[in-house]
């Protein structure tokens, strides 16, 4: 299995053998902000809770988006509170087909943490393997020494996205109905950035929320024309599920950058154009 992923059996073996592993529970869903409550009710033994809004993003704003990248000093504090050291292996998981866990995977990698893995299939895979959960709050055994350093993975800002040339492929990772502008549950305007290609993250996983094999992911993205682009930039609603697309692209062997502000930032600026319907333009 690619190093970006870890399966439940391997994680269980690491815990049984007391192999140092930092586990982060990143449960969060759009419309359900009770991730911490779910964590307290039951989580993988030893897991610490990572809050999407407080730990993995800056405060929401129209100017920067709903989940802008956190300040680097704030992220360093979180890394150290979680007991992360420069050589730590970090495993992240959720209960939503890894859509929020992938944000933690991408953000920690962006901040310079080299060994970060997503539990493939998330909490369901752990339970289905017959593993137990524990309840209550957990804290790290020690204070970490890792320091976040921005920029280990590429990002594009809103102006760079607007200026992109024809050899740059912009990918919209949201559900198709949001891309087409049929519904918009949270952001100021419906639609998508003109020229963006629709590639919903739901198509990256199987019915159990596990990532498709690398060859199938590669076939999917090649069929969308991603292999022909000089550069690929991915966005979603607020930069969370776009990280899921970036993980799938990495598994498939493609490189891509994140537009962190995503549609929440773009649509909040009335001077930025929007397109609706199936046609990218």
CB 122 within 8 A of CB 93: yes
Tokens of residue 8, six digits: 């439940």
CA dihedral 112, 66, 185, 267 (to 10 degrees): -110
CA-CA distance, 66 to 79, in Å (whole number)? Answer: 21
CB 44 within 8 A of CB 93: yes
3-class secondary structure, 210: coil
CA-CA distance, 139 to 160, in Å (whole number)? Answer: 40
Which residues does the annotation mark as catalytic?
236
3-class secondary structure, 8: helix
Among 204, 233, 245, 208, CA closest to 106: 245
CA-CA distance, 67 to 134, in Å (whole number)? Answer: 29
Q: Phi/psi of residue 171, each to 5°? A: -115, 130
Helix axes of 241-252 and 101-110: crossing angle, nearest 10 degrees: 70
CA-CA distance, 196 to 172, in Å (whole number)? Answer: 6
């Amino acid at each position: 299995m690619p190093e970006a992923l870890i399966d439940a059996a391997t994680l269980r073996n690491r815990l049984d053998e007391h192999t140092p592993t930092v586990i982060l529970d990143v449960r969060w869903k759009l419309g359900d902000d009770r991730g911490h409550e779910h964590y307290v009710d039951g989580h993988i033994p030893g897991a610490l809770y990572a809050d999407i809004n407080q730990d993995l993003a800056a405060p929401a704003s129209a100017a920067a988006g709903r989940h802008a990248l956190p300040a680097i000093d704030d992220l360093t504090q979180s890394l150290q509170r979680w007991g992360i050291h420069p050589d730590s292996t970090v495993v992240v998981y959720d209960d939503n087909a890894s859509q929020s866990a992938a944000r933690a995977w991408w953000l920690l990698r962006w901040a310079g943490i080299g060994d970060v893995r997503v539990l493939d299939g998330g909490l369901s895979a752990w339970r289905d393997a017959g593993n137990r959960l524990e309840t209550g709050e957990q804290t790290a055994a020690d204070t970490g020494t890792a320091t976040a350093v921005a920029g280990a993975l590429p990002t594009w800002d809103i102006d760079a996205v607007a200026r992109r040339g024809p050899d740059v492929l912009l990918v919209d990772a949201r559900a198709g109905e949001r891309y087409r502008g049929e519904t918009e549950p949270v952001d100021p305007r419906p639609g998508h950035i003109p020229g963006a290609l629709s590639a919903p993250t739901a198509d990256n996983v199987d019915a159990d929320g596990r990532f498709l094999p690398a060859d199938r992911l590669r076939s999917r993205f090649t069929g969308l024309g991603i292999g022909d682009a000089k550069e690929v930039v991915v966005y979603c609603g607020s930069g969370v599920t776009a990280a899921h697309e970036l993980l799938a692209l990495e598994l498939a062997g493609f490189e891509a950058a994140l537009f962190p502000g995503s549609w929440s930032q773009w649509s909040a600026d009335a001077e930025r154009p929007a397109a609706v319907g199936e046609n990218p333009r």
